[in-house]
Amino acid sequence: MTIARAVEQTHPHLGLRPSPLPIFRHARAARISKQSQATPALRSKIAFSTNPPRQFEDQTQPNPRPLPQPDPTQMRPNATGCNIHAKRDFALAQLTPVLSQSPGNNGRARPDRSGAPLMPQRPRDTLNVIARYQPIFAAMGLTAQSLFTDPRIVVWRSITERQNCTLDVALAGGETVRLHVKRFQPARGYTTPAEDESRGIRALEIERIPTAPLVAFGKLKDGRSVVVTENLAGFRAGDKWIATSADFERVLEGTADLAARLHERGLHHRDLYLCHFFVKESEDGESAPELRLIDAARVARLPGIFTRRRWIVKDLAQFWYSTLALPITNDQRARWLARYGEQRKLRSIDGLRRSIERKAAWIARHDRKLKSAQPTRNVSIPGA
């Protein structure tokens, strides 16, 4: 007598029938025998593990295992005196609301590192204004929405992705202050173009690279964003300054030093044209002019060693190309690059120059296409 037949006779209430596949008879009989002797809770687990999935009353899903919490006695301070774990948790707490409210996720909840999902947050208009400009914005009634609709804001350039505008603010003492407003169309990603530019400006300021001071930035719930910067009174765009009988020789070393400092501090501009170097004439007219680097929307940290040179070449080629239409000689361009290499302590610039010239030729072809498609794209700031 087989084991299956014996089990069928001793346990008729199970309704066991011989399996059509003899190879599985012994295993199935042993399992049923074990199941009949087990407790009800264990019996349900055995059935769930061997039979097709079914619903059982005692079947529950365990909660996600929480991340282990650091032992306070094992925490060690870093060089700045801050607690390493506390600094990490603070950075996470700062980052979490930004991700949950960004337009890229359409208001969906995003789980944090502890496994608990964040609560969905409805998109809303936000405007961040630095402290000394908050009274002015309040007095003028400027909000994130009004920066797109206020008739006092004058548009001087409009292209597909953004509008460049100016806003003249009359102060109590009769003084007028001009602000520059950039209004961006909705863009994909977890950050808006206005947030990117504000971070670029802060990165330049942290690395002590002079730029246009930030006033405000914000976004609307429909994905549009806006950034406001101070006017650089007395400054002119570098290309216009040179085109109006000024000598490039006076800013040759200053622009090369600024480009070298940018790359030495681990940043790249990605729009390093001469028109983004703003020049202010010195009081005596003889000493070196003051320089500012503007348009920080694409400023970012340089990547690793495998692609770092590519981005540096792109920056330098953009500057090189922007000098070709101006009264600047090849000798001046060569000395500008030599000054850049000297500041960065480069052993040789011959290979770098060949790469720059190739990239500049590519930029020239690309620029011709852009000009034919968008004739007003390269319009300069009024009065700059």
Q: Which of 102-106, 213-217, 365-369 has the highest mean pLDDT?
A: 213-217
Query: Is the pLDDT confidence value at 220 over 90?
Result: yes
- Quick one: CA dihedral 247, 251, 253, 255, positive or negative? negative
Please write down the long-range contacts of 40-49, taking CB distance under 8 Å and 24 or more positions apart: none
Q: State whether 205 and 268 are in the same domain.
A: no
* Residue 64 falls inside a structural domain: no
The pLDDT of residue 239 is above 70:
yes
Same domain, 205 and 257: no
Q: pLDDT band at residue 198, thresholds of 50, 70 and 90?
A: very high
Q: What is the CATH number of the domain that holds 309?
A: 1.10.510.10
For residue 354, give the 3-state DSSP assignment: helix
Residues 281 and 216 in one domain: no
Answer whether residue 58 is part of any domain: no
pLDDT band at 254 (very low <50, low <70, confident <90, very high): very high
Q: Kindly state whether residue 242 falls inside one of the protein's structural domains.
A: yes
- Whether residues 240 and 327 fall in one domain: yes
CB atoms within 10 A of CB 253: 16
- Among 75, 98, 119, residue at a domain's last position: 119
Chain segment 39-90, per-residue pLDDT in tens: 555 555 544 444 444 444 444 445 555 544 545 444 444 443 433 333 333 3
Of 175, 207, 230, the position where a domain reaches its end is: 230
Once rounded to an integer, what is the mean pLDDT over residues 199-218? 96
* Burial (0-12, 13-18, 19+ Cβ within 10 Å), 221: middle
- Non-local (6+) Cβ contacts of 206 within 8 A are none
Same domain, 362 and 240: yes
Distances (CA, A) of 281 to 1, 36, 50, 215, 250: 109, 96, 85, 24, 10
What are the pLDDT digits (tens) for 111-150?
555 555 666 667 789 999 999 999 999 999 999 999 999 9
User: Of 122-126, 148-152, 178-182, 231-235, which range is least confident?
Assistant: 122-126
* Cα–Cα distance measured from residue 213 to residue 205, given in angstroms and rounded to the nearest whole number: 9
Q: Report how far residue 271's alpha carbon sits from residue 299's, in angstroms, rounded to the nearest whole number.
A: 8
Q: How far does Cα 149 stand from its chain's mean position?
A: 27
One-letter-per-residue 3-state SS of 144-174: CCHHHHCCCEEEEEECCCEEEEEEEEECCCC
In a domain, 354, yes or no: yes
Are both 301 and 353 inside the same structural domain?
yes
Please tell me the predicted confidence (pLDDT) of residue 172: 80
Task: Please state which of the ranges 6-10, 290-294, 343-347 shows the lowest mean pLDDT.
Answer: 6-10
Pick the more confident residue, 184 or 64: 184
Verify that 251 and 364 share a domain, yes or no: yes
The Cα 128–Cα 138 span in angstroms is 12
Query: Does some domain include residue 381?
Result: no
DSSP assignment, residue 287?
S
pLDDT of residue 320: 97
pLDDT reported for residue 174: 82
User: Which range marks the domain in which residue 40 is found?
Assistant: 3-50
Q: Are residues 203 and 302 in the same domain?
A: no
Asked whether the whole model's pTM tops 0.75, one would answer no
Contact (Cβ atoms closer than 8 angstroms) between residue 274 and residue 319: yes
DSSP 75-92: --B-TTS-BHHHHHHHHH
Q: Are residues 212 and 316 in the same domain?
A: no
> Rounded to an integer, what distance in angstroms lies between the CA atom of residue 236 and that of residue 297?
19
Q: Is residue 70 in some structural domain?
A: no
How many domains would you assign to the chain?
Answer: 4
pLDDT given at position 244: 87
359 and 310 part of one domain: yes
* Residue 269 in domain: yes
Q: How far is CA 250 from CA 115, 141, 284, in A?
A: 59, 43, 13
**Of 199, 230, 261, the domain-final residue:** 230
Q: Both 281 and 315 in a single domain?
A: yes
Q: pLDDT value at position 16? A: 53
Assigned domain for 63 exists:
no
Token pair of 75 as six digits: 């925490």
Which tens digit of pLDDT belongs to each residue from 265-324? 999 999 999 999 999 998 887 788 999 999 999 999 999 999 999 999 999 999 999 999
Q: Do residue 215 and residue 315 come from a single domain?
A: no
